[in-house]
């Protein structure tokens, strides 16, 4: 069984952090085992942040794929981190890349990619992609599952 004694958020009432910078991404140990690396996917189809100019909400479908090495990101802490963007004013590109970099900082994975599929602002959808490098050899990488913009449904 995984040791969860060091987790401060799982199983407890925790307020949503006021900003992504204040959010704590917690991790749990992971044993890779033999064979190709596992790919873990998190999908956040209702991601929101704020336009840094107008303060209006921006909406995105975020897909995070990563190949963990020795640690996994704990999912409740990830949910709290993602929710903390609701009060955060930043452009789409900054939000998407910040998500990837924070997870990399916390987990030190073998590989990570994040896709931010943003709903139109001013009639133009913006898609932002970031990854740490080439995917691991022999890892199965599924399609992100998000179609090119056609009303994002």
Q: Is 53 annotated as a binding residue?
A: no
Q: Is 92 annotated as a binding residue?
A: yes
Place of tokens 């917690």: 26
Digits of tens for pLDDT over the chain (153 positions)?
A: 566 668 766 777 888 888 999 999 999 999 999 999 999 999 999 999 999 999 999 999 999 999 999 999 999 999 999 999 999 999 999 999 999 999 999 999 999 999 999 999 888 889 999 999 999 999 999 988 887 766 655
CATH tag for 19-129 (out of 3.30.70.580, 3.40.50.1700, 3.30.1130.10, 3.90.1200.10): 3.30.1130.10
Q: Is 97 annotated as a binding residue?
A: no
Choose the catalytic residue: 3, 34, 58, 127: 58
Query: Is residue 40 a contact partner of residue 68, using CB atoms and an 8 Å limit?
Result: yes
Tell me, yes or no, if 65 is annotated catalytic: no
> How far are the Cα atoms of 40, 78, 135, 144 from residue 65, in angstroms, in the given order?
6, 13, 10, 9
What is residue 6's predicted lDDT score, i.e. its pLDDT?
A: 81
User: DSSP per residue over 60-110, as a string?
Assistant: EEEEEEEE-SSEEE-HHHHHHHHHGGGG-B--HHHHHHHHHHHHHHHH--S
Tell me, yes or no, if 51 is annotated catalytic: yes
Domain positions in the chain: 19-129
């Amino acid at each position: 069984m995984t040791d969860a004694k060091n987790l401060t958020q799982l199983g407890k009432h925790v307020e949503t952090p006021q900003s992504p910078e204040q959010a704590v991404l917690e991790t749990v140990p992971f044993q890779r085992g033999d064979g190709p690396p596992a790919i873990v996917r998190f999908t956040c189809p209702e991601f929101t942040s704020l336009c840094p100019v107008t303060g209006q909400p921006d909406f995105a479908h975020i897909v995070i794929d990563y190949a963990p090495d020795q640690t996994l990101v704990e999912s409740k802490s990830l949910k709290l981190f993602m929710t903390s963007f609701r009060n955060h004013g930043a452009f789409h590109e900054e939000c998407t890349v910040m998500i990837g970099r924070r997870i990399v900082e916390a987990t030190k994975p073998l590989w990570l990619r994040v896709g931010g599929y943003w709903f139109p602002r001013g009639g133009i959808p913006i898609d932002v992609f970031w990854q740490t490098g080439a995917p691991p050899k022999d890892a199965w990488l599924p399609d992100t599952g998000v179609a090119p913009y056609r009303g994002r449904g």
